[in-house]
Homo-oligomer: A and B are copies of this chain.
Amino acid sequence: MTTESLKPFFEPQSVAVVGASRDPSKGGSIIVGNLKRWDSKFVERVYPINPGADKVLDLKAYPSLKEIPDKVDLVVVLTPARTLPTIMKDAAEKNVKAVIIESAGFAEVGPEGIALQEEVVRIAKSAGIRIIGPNCTGIINANNNLITTFVEVSEITKGGVSVVAQTGMFAGTLIPEFISQNLGISKVACFGNKADVDEVDLIEYYAEDPDTQVIALYLEGIADGRRLIQVAKDVTKKKPIIILKGGRSDAGAKAALSHTASIAGRGEVVEAAFKQIGILQAETLEDLIGFSKALDWLELPNGNRVAIFTASGGGGVLSADQCAQQGLNVVSLSPTTVSKLSEVFPEWMPPANPIDIWPAISVAKHGLNEVHGLVLQSVIDDKSVDCILFILMALKELEQIDIDMIINMQVNNRKPMVVWLFGDPRIISKWRDRFEDHRIPVFLTLSESVRALKALYVYKKFKESIK
């Protein structure tokens, strides 16, 4: 039911933009520009509304919703707050079922705005219109390239991650970050004040959406914790949900109130409940991105036993510390693995975990790639190892490492592996994309690498607990 009513937001057949502007620097122009990137079969069904213009960005403009000769599935609004009641009435008359209100100046600004927002919701309810917003950037659907946000989004990387966010940056500034980090997006919904459609509705929608594998949330307020938990506890059985919660401190809660009119609260109780139903908690934006990528791309590990592959001794020590801190077990290698590795390790350096391959490389009886291949295959085959942290130094001296060999060994194997890559930016950018093209997550910091592995393990444990 909810799912059906949200469909026009993500899969409309026609879209009108109220507040379409001919000034290219204005949000009302940028929205139209973004909509022109929509799946080509729909582009001619983008309708700019501007009483003073014949055309906006070469599309025929209309003075109001009511003059559009076509059925309108979705309306996007960016006119001043006070104009909304009239627009909603027009939408009702036009039998529109979905409106994204991007304009600010509602509940987040105090009593007058609250009253205005209530009026808008009242009109919508009586006409059976669903609202996303106000005070938001709307939605992105990477699957049909529908983009309603008022900052330019000219590119999206498609993938299995769908985002619910109570702030606009997830449909704006963060998009190039997602692209540069190869995070594949299915859908993004930024709902601002959530006068109507809220995180629970969207979670329900994403739960049913075949293109969504992982659900990532940024929330400032939680309107109805009980309902969220009721819904989410069934969803986490099928798809992972990750949450980054804003407003956890007093200072943050105060900021959330003026940002999206959210009552953030301290939320320890809610957080404990989240944990119990398998929602993964991100502490930072990097976590939210990293966990999403790892959960979208990798199998879950059988347990928490990690093998650390490194050519840097110091990197191995720091990794072991961080794994231990995150509850991962830097396990002893099986006798079989030790004996296989002994073939390439110098006599004076018995193989152990972290597996520091530098001594094996520096002895140079065996080639760089022979050592990499043998060590990685041994670890993949070792039944006492559940997951792999692969530390790779982007160093000119190691540039002849056969990355394709490593990738091939890994894609033929279901043991989750993440790569911590650091060093020369030129080599990093080359290697990173090659790994990630094959869905092997690469992180540029150790802590993100280890935390992503940990998230996989935490979700696996949850799945086991509900069997």
| Segment 377-405 of A: residues with Cβ below 8 Å from B | 393-397
Q: Which residues of B contact A246 (CB under 8 A)?
A: 314, 317-318, 321
Does A165 lie at the interface of the complex (its beta carbon under 8 Å from any beta carbon of B)?
yes
A23 to chain B, nearest CB (A): 10
CB nearest neighbor in B for A250: B324
Q: Which residues of B contact A397 (CB under 8 A)?
A: 25, 30, 151-152
B349 close to A109 (CB less than 8 A): yes
**Segment of A10-18, A42-50, A334-342, A351-359 in the binding face:** A351-359
Does A176 lie at the interface of the complex (its beta carbon under 8 Å from any beta carbon of B)?
yes
| Segment 259-306 of A: residues with Cβ below 8 Å from B | 259-260, 264, 283-286
A420 to chain B, nearest CB (A): 10
What separation, in Å, do the CA atoms of A323 and B284 have in the docked complex? 13
Q: Which residues of B contact A395 (CB under 8 A)?
A: 151, 172-173
CB nearest neighbor in B for A424: B176
Does A51 lie at the interface of the complex (its beta carbon under 8 Å from any beta carbon of B)?
no
Q: Which residues of B contact A356 (CB under 8 A)?
A: 255, 258-259
A112 close to B425 (CB less than 8 A): no
Q: Give the residue among A152, A173, A324 with the most B Cβ atoms within 10 A.
A: A173
Does A85 lie at the interface of the complex (its beta carbon under 8 Å from any beta carbon of B)?
no
Does A132 lie at the interface of the complex (its beta carbon under 8 Å from any beta carbon of B)?
no
| Segment 201-258 of A: residues with Cβ below 8 Å from B | 218, 220, 244, 246-252, 254-256, 258
A243 to chain B, nearest CB (A): 13
Does A63 lie at the interface of the complex (its beta carbon under 8 Å from any beta carbon of B)?
no
A324 close to B252 (CB less than 8 A): yes
Q: Which residues of B contact A284 (CB under 8 A)?
A: 318, 322, 445-447
B321 close to A252 (CB less than 8 A): yes
CB nearest neighbor in B for A25: B397
What separation, in Å, do the CA atoms of A169 and B315 have in the docked complex? 8
A330 close to B251 (CB less than 8 A): yes
Q: Which residues of B contact A145 (CB under 8 A)?
A: none
Copies of this chain, how many? 2
What separation, in Å, do the CA atoms of A445 and B108 have in the docked complex? 27
What separation, in Å, do the CA atoms of A286 and B168 have in the docked complex? 28
Does A452 lie at the interface of the complex (its beta carbon under 8 Å from any beta carbon of B)?
no
Q: Which residues of B contact A174 (CB under 8 A)?
A: 422-423
Does A113 lie at the interface of the complex (its beta carbon under 8 Å from any beta carbon of B)?
yes
B446 close to A313 (CB less than 8 A): no
Which of B105, B169, B314, B423 has a CB less than 8 Å from the CB of A312?
Answer: B169
CB nearest neighbor in B for A352: B258
CB nearest neighbor in B for A151: B397
A20 to chain B, nearest CB (A): 17
Does A119 lie at the interface of the complex (its beta carbon under 8 Å from any beta carbon of B)?
no
Which of B249, B285, B314 has a CB less than 8 Å from the CB of A218?
Answer: B314
- A423-443: contact bitstring with B at CB < 8 Å (1 yes, 0 no)? 111000000000000000000
B252 close to A173 (CB less than 8 A): no
A413 to chain B, nearest CB (A): 24
Q: Which residues of B contact A312 (CB under 8 A)?
A: 167-169, 173
CB nearest neighbor in B for A445: B286
Can you report 21 residue pairs joining A to B where beta carbons are below 8 Å apart?
A: A151-B395, A152-B397, A167-B317, A170-B314, A173-B423, A174-B423, A176-B394, A180-B425, A218-B314, A249-B324, A251-B323, A254-B320, A254-B330, A255-B313, A255-B316, A255-B352, A256-B317, A258-B349, A259-B316, A285-B318, A285-B422
Known: A152-B397, A169-B315, A254-B330. 14 other contacts (CB 8 A): A108-B349, A151-B395, A152-B396, A167-B317, A176-B423, A177-B422, A220-B317, A244-B318, A247-B317, A247-B321, A249-B323, A251-B330, A259-B314, A286-B445
Q: B-contacting residues of A (Cβ < 8 Å)?
A: 25, 27, 30, 104-105, 108-110, 112-113, 151-152, 165-170, 172-174, 176-177, 180, 218, 220, 244, 246-252, 254-256, 258-260, 264, 283-286, 312-318, 320-325, 330, 346, 348-349, 352, 354, 356, 359, 362, 393-397, 422-425, 445-447
- A-B interface, 8 closest residue pairs, ranked by CB to CB distance from nearest: A167-B314, A249-B324, A259-B313, A252-B321, A251-B330, A109-B348, A246-B317, A251-B320
